[in-house]
Amino acid sequence: MQYLPPYSPDLNKIEHYWFPIKNQVRKSKGSVEDFRERVDNAVKLAS
């Protein structure tokens, strides 16, 4: 049986792209209902 190594965000390249988006969504204030809009705005800012 082979075991998987521990997860490391440094080894996963997609994490480097998602990090600023996740931070922007966390910093933005809003409700669950406008979550999609906050994510869309964060993606636009990260581009």
Averaged confidence pLDDT in the chain: 81
Q: How confident is the model at residue 3 (pLDDT cuts 50, 70, 90)?
A: confident
- Residue ranges in the chain assigned as alpha helix (H): 13-27, 35-46
Q: Which amino acid would we find at residue 36? A: R
Q: How confident is the model at residue 17 (pLDDT cuts 50, 70, 90)?
A: confident
CA dist list (Å): 9 to 2, 19, 30, 34, 43 = 21, 10, 27, 28, 20
Cα separation, 33 vs 21, whole angstroms: 18
Answering whether pTM is above 0.75, one says no
Q: Which residues contact 28 (CB under 8 A, 6 or more apart)?
A: 38, 41, 42
